[in-house]
Amino acid sequence: MNYENMTQHQSNRKIKVWNSIIILLSGIGLIVFIAVLSSQVRQLILDYLAEHVIHKETSINQEWNELFFKFSMFGIFSILFFDYCTLANSGRALVQKVKQDIKECLSEIDFRSFLKPSFVLLGVYLLGILTIIRANFLYRDDIGRAILGSRLWFLGSRYVSEIFSIFVHADANLTEISPLPQLLAILFITAASVLLVYVLTEKVTIIRLLASIPLGLSPFFLENLSYKFDAPYMALSILVSIVPFLFIARKKAFLFVSIVSLLIMCMLYQAASGIYMMIIVVLCFLYWNKGEKTIKEIFSFLGIAAFAFCFAMLLFRFFLMKPFPEYSPYASSAMLPASRIISGTLGNIKDHAMIINNDLGMIWKTGIVIVLLFFIIKSIYSSAQRKIFSFFISILVIALSFILSYGVYSVLTIPLYHPRALLGFGVFLSIMCIIVSDFKKIAAVAVLALNWCFLIFAFSYGNALADQARYAEFRISILLHDLSALNFDRSEDDMLVQINNSIDFTPSVKNIAKHDPIIERLVPCRLNDYYFDYIYCFNYFNYYKQFHFNNLENEGMQSFIDFNSLDLPVVLDSYYHTIKSDGKRILIILKH
């Protein structure tokens, strides 16, 4: 046997061994997942988790039963697909083709040319969040994560965030390690800005990168950056939504990377779900307007992208998504019923537009309108098509991109309208600014002026957080002092506490709100009936051994009792609050 035959024989033997191992492991995996499909096995697993991991009553088992069933189906699907790609000749050929396409696409990109402009943008973003980091503000969910060490991202189907956080915090138990997570978020956002500029223009310049600032420093994404624990995963969701466009020149690679990236995005932060299709719409318009591709090529590209998006969303919806509880007032993961899909979607889009309009100050609105006008003018000026077509279609692209910026939230029964959920609007502005920035000098000036406003607001916002934190701690300290001075009998059973009103805004926040109304939605008021604010007031200051919160005792607030209706006697009345109590129930009325 000659050397070549020996080598071939050894290679075939290795392939057979690996195939045997794959078949064995796949068989074990299929047996496990099929077993989990059995309700009895699922019940045993859930009982164990409820007792040793989740520490909740078995009343949650209906939700978890459904989730485990979905995971099992997804596991079976994944194993069968993996076996096809590794065992079948056609599957191996497909994998080799996709790998080769990915390598070719990456080899065609000069990543070194990104470095210098990227450092400039990184410096701008770091400057933009300087006051936010300096404020050292525990933002909403941060309070519970810092005190309790719990992640719980899986409750919102954010499984990648759940796993990634273990590596970021070097422990399954979360600890407060800021500003590291926020710095990671800035790195991801910088990379996202660079890739977005490259995808839209194929050449990265400092001016274009500066034009992309709304992606990371829009007033809406500032809320995402305020979270000490969530920030990197929210930022990464934007980055992975843009990555597929690096492979746009190879259809198979683009399709594969799109599906994987969109699934990862959904398991990071679903508010970024509109970014992918928004970029698709803009690229199709640019290809058509400049005459770079034929109508057939554009529709082929659009079809592949639409298929990838729909396929990824369906996989996530039917195999990975954990529904929100039906009684949750926070938001809903349920889609609008078929009978209301059109009217409900239009209503959500209208609400989305009105909220953004109410959030933005007049100077911002003026700057945005100017940028959009320059987008229309540039589209007409550089068009290879009939000018009248370019005019109307450019307006249509603006409207469609704005609608898509809200992602799948537009079709939900109860969408989320917190600023962090509107991060797509910042990406929308970034796209418009990047395209306009190299049109005329006056257009570049308009873009940079708008982005300068966003940068200045970021400074104001961070300082407002610090000022509000100072005032909140002052009010909480007085409240806890007065509760302590009342000297409730510690031998009594745990007492129920209910708080009316919230700590109001400081004068500095009210001053900012005169021209930038969004500040009052960004800066949290402590004790505003938000769960983690109660934890902050009592647990954070080690004043929790005796008190429980009446309106948070049961999920869904099913046994809520309004203490205002009990006519409790006043035990203390001060400038800042009134305390009523009968010795077992305490009503705290905060004054503004």
Looking at the DSSP bridge assignments, the partners of residue 586 are 497, 581
pLDDT at 523 (0 to 100): 95
Return the closest-CA partner of residue 512 out of 460, 452, 589, 551.
Answer: 460
Q: Tell how many helices (H) and how many strands (E) occur in the chain.
A: 24, 5
Please tell me the distance from the alpha carbon of residue 455 to that of residue 409, in angstroms, as a whole number: 28
The more confident residue out of 245 and 32 is 245
Which contiguous run of DSSP H or E holds residue 585?
strand 585-590
Please tell me the distance from the alpha carbon of residue 298 to that of residue 283, in angstroms, as a whole number: 9
pLDDT at 354 (0 to 100): 96
Residue 458: CB atoms within 10 A of its CB come to: 25
Looking at this protein, which amino acid is placed at residue 314?
L
485 alpha-carbon distance from chain centroid: 43
Return the closest-CA partner of residue 214 out of 453, 461, 430, 434.
Answer: 430
* Per-residue pLDDT tens over the stretch 455-492: 999 999 999 999 999 999 999 999 989 988 887 765 55
**Residues whose CB falls within 8 Å of the CB of residue 418, separated by 6 or more in sequence, listed in order:** 223, 521
pLDDT at 444 (0 to 100): 93
**Residues whose CB falls within 8 Å of the CB of residue 573, separated by 6 or more in sequence, listed in order:** 579
String of DSSP letters for 491-538: TSPPEEEEEES-PPPPHHHHHHHTT-TTHHHHSPPTTSS-HHHHHHHH
Per-residue pLDDT for 2 more than 70? no
The more confident residue out of 187 and 148 is 187
Per-residue pLDDT for 58 more than 50? no
Per-residue pLDDT for 550 more than 70? no
Segment 566-571 shows an average pLDDT of: 89
Return the closest-CA partner of residue 186 out of 269, 139, 127.
Answer: 127
Segment 388-398 shows an average pLDDT of: 94
Per-residue pLDDT for 44 more than 90? no
pLDDT at 530 (0 to 100): 64
pLDDT at 554 (0 to 100): 43
Return the closest-CA partner of residue 273 out of 304, 309, 249.
Answer: 309
Cis peptide bond upstream of 323, omega within 30: no
Please tell me the distance from the alpha carbon of residue 294 to that of residue 281, in angstroms, as a whole number: 15
Segment 496-507 shows an average pLDDT of: 88
Per-residue pLDDT for 210 more than 70? yes
Please tell me the distance from the alpha carbon of residue 196 to that of residue 322, in angstroms, as a whole number: 31
Per-residue pLDDT for 562 more than 70? yes
Lowest model confidence (mean pLDDT) among 131-140, 219-228, 452-461, 486-495: 486-495
Three-class DSSP category at 17: helix
pLDDT at 470 (0 to 100): 95
Three-class DSSP category at 581: strand
Per-residue pLDDT for 176 more than 80? yes
Segment 130-143 shows an average pLDDT of: 92
pLDDT at 553 (0 to 100): 44
Please tell me the distance from the alpha carbon of residue 241 to that of residue 230, in angstroms, as a whole number: 17
Contacts within 8 Å (CB) and 24+ apart, 337-342? 341/411
* Percentage above 70 pLDDT, the chain: 88
Contact 60, 43 (CB under 8 A): no
Looking at this protein, which amino acid is placed at residue 489?
D
Work out the mean pLDDT of the chain and round it to a whole number: 86
The more confident residue out of 446 and 61 is 446
Three-class DSSP category at 350: helix
Q: What angle do CA 433, 437, 439 make, to 5 degrees?
A: 125
276 alpha-carbon distance from chain centroid: 14
CA quadruple 293, 294, 296, 302: dihedral sign = positive
Per-residue pLDDT for 289 more than 90? yes
The more confident residue out of 32 and 362 is 362
Looking at the DSSP bridge assignments, the partners of residue 498 are 587
pTM of the model: 0.91
Cis peptide bond upstream of 117, omega within 30: no
pLDDT at 592 (0 to 100): 85
Per-residue pLDDT for 410 more than 70? yes
Please tell me the distance from the alpha carbon of residue 110 to that of residue 393, in angstroms, as a whole number: 33
Contact 54, 60 (CB under 8 A): yes
Lowest model confidence (mean pLDDT) among 41-55, 121-135, 371-385, 541-555: 541-555
Please tell me the distance from the alpha carbon of residue 343 to that of residue 346, in angstroms, as a whole number: 5
Q: Spell out a b/e string for 290-314, using b for 16 or more CB atoms within 10 Å of the CB, else e.
A: eeebeeeebeebbebbeebbeebbe
Lowest model confidence (mean pLDDT) among 187-201, 257-271, 326-340, 454-468: 326-340
Lowest model confidence (mean pLDDT) among 68-72, 146-150, 197-201: 68-72
Q: What angle do CA 141, 272, 310 make, to 5 degrees?
A: 130
Beta-strand ranges (E) seen in 372-516 are: 495-500
Q: How confident is the model at residue 68 (pLDDT cuts 50, 70, 90)?
A: confident
pLDDT at 572 (0 to 100): 92
Lowest model confidence (mean pLDDT) among 47-56, 92-101, 567-576: 47-56
Which residue do the tokens 């191996």 mark?
A: 92
Lowest model confidence (mean pLDDT) among 103-107, 184-188, 276-280: 103-107
The more confident residue out of 187 and 484 is 187
Per-residue pLDDT for 172 more than 90? no
Please tell me the distance from the alpha carbon of residue 235 to that of residue 189, in angstroms, as a whole number: 6
pLDDT at 4 (0 to 100): 60
Per-residue pLDDT for 125 more than 70? yes
Which contiguous run of DSSP H or E holds residue 429?
helix 423-437
Please tell me the distance from the alpha carbon of residue 119 to that of residue 121, in angstroms, as a whole number: 5
pLDDT at 330 (0 to 100): 59
* Percentage above 90 pLDDT, the chain: 55
